[in-house]
Amino acid sequence: MDKRIMNRIALAVLWLCAATTVAVLGAVILYVFVNGIGQLSLEFIFTWPQGVNAEGGIWPTIVSTVYVTGLAMLIVTPIGVLAAVYLAEYAVQGRLVRTIRFAADSLASVPSIIMGLFGMALFVETMHIPFSMLAAALALSFLMLPIVMRATEEAIRAVPKYIRWGSYGLGASKWQTVSRIVLPAAMPRILTGLILATGRAVGETAVVIFTMGQAINLPVSPLDSGRPMTVHLYILAMEGINLPAAYGTALLLMIMILFFNLTARWLLRRNRRMQG
């Protein structure tokens, strides 16, 4: 076949691939949007579910989602960032580092249901932390750890070497260099990684079901339980008692995740523009 005709056909197929991907995304988002937009109102966001058919709003689930994600972020940020600092600045390439990286990759690919079972086995049954925000946040932070570690390490490596040399030349210790020069310079990208990890945590279901239970509750202390939006969506969809509310919950969830993703991209673009 003439190579130019082959070329045209192949390029058309590639266009089709990309178009299909975009179309699928559009379909999912449109579907949730069209069915859920009617539900979104101040009342939906701020009132409790009521009645036999879970009429009303989803406020406690929103609070539960935000609470557990925030708690998980609080736990994972210091550990993940400092771990990446070690890998990027202090570590000597060797067996330990290779093991750490393999462990991080493995953690990243652990199926979330196993993380949930692990969370239940360790935190709830062995450490006797009840089904709560805390147990779920601890399990979620394990899930987020590899994402934060990888993003932070890349961010630190992206900081030009001559900045550090300048700092050492002035007599700064390693820690002073890292904390006052390198980390602030890498901060936008680190934040991006954190935000992406948070977006992932918001969408988690299996992990949370096994560590937080499902009772609808407004959590105040980390030991309170609650029901996050993902679990609420699952229950509403499977019980079929209030499909409009399910759509509304799905839409709100996707808006939150979209917000996180777009913020991360915006931060990254701003950082690239500033670095020239």
Residues between 192 and 251 with contacts to other proteins, criterion CB under 8 A: 199-200, 202-206, 209-210, 213-217, 221-223, 225, 227, 230, 233-235, 237-241, 246, 250
CB of 19 to other proteins, least distance (A): 9
The strand pair at 49-50 and 55-56 is best described as antiparallel
Instruction: Rank residues 121 and 158 by Cβ distance to other proteins and give the closer one.
Output: 121
* Minimum CB distance to other proteins, residue 42 (Å): 21
50 near other proteins, judged by CB under 8 A: yes
Rounded to whole angstroms, how far apart are CA atoms 16 and 5? 17
Closest residue by Cα to residue 83 from 64, 54, 103, 67: 103
Per-residue tokens: 118: 């692990």
According to CB under 8 A, which one of 43, 53, 160, 275 is a site residue for other proteins?
Answer: 53
Instruction: Output the smallest distance, CB 236 to other proteins, in A.
Output: 8
* Range 78-97, binding other proteins (CB under 8 A): 78-87, 90-92
Q: Which of 37, 41, 46, 105 binds other proteins (CB under 8 A)?
A: 105
SS (H, E, C) 34-82: HHHCCCCCHHHHHCCEECCCCEECCHHHHHHHHHHHHHHHHHHHHHHHH
Q: Decide: is 34 part of the binding site for other proteins (CB under 8 A).
A: no
**114, 163, 165, 270: which one contacts other proteins (CB under 8 A)?**
114
Binding-site string for other proteins from residue 146 to residue 175, where x marks contact by CB under 8 A and - marks none: x--x---------------------x-xxx
Distance in angstroms (rounded) separating the CA atoms of residues 254 and 247: 10
HSE-up of residue 252 (Cα within 13 Å, Cβ side): 27
How many residues lie near other proteins (CB under 8 A)? 123
Report the residue count for the chain.
Answer: 276
Q: Which residue has the tokens 């006052």?
A: 180
| 140, 207 contact by CB (below 8 A) | yes
User: Using an 8 Å Cβ cutoff, are 49 and 57 in contact?
Assistant: yes
Among 40, 45, 66, 110, binds other proteins (CB under 8 A): 110
Q: CB of 260 within 8 A of CB of 199?
A: yes
Burial class (CB in 10 A: 0-12, 13-18, 19+), 13: exposed
**Residue 152: CB minimum distance to other proteins, A:** 11
The residue among 44 and 212 lying less far from other proteins, judged by its C-beta, is: 212
Bridge partners (DSSP) of residue 49 are 56
Asked if 139 and 119 count as a contact pair (C-beta separation under 8 A), the reply is yes
Q: Rule CB under 8 A: is residue 72 a binding residue for other proteins?
A: no
Least Cβ distance, residue 67 to other proteins (angstroms): 14
Rounded to the nearest whole angstrom, what is the least distance from the CB of residue 274 to other proteins in the complex? 19
| Candidate residues 61, 69, 112, 271; the one interacting with other proteins per rule CB under 8 A | 112
User: Using CB under 8 A, which of 7, 43, 158, 266 touches other proteins?
Assistant: 7
Of the candidate residues 66, 117, 255, 268, the single one contacting other proteins (CB under 8 A): 117
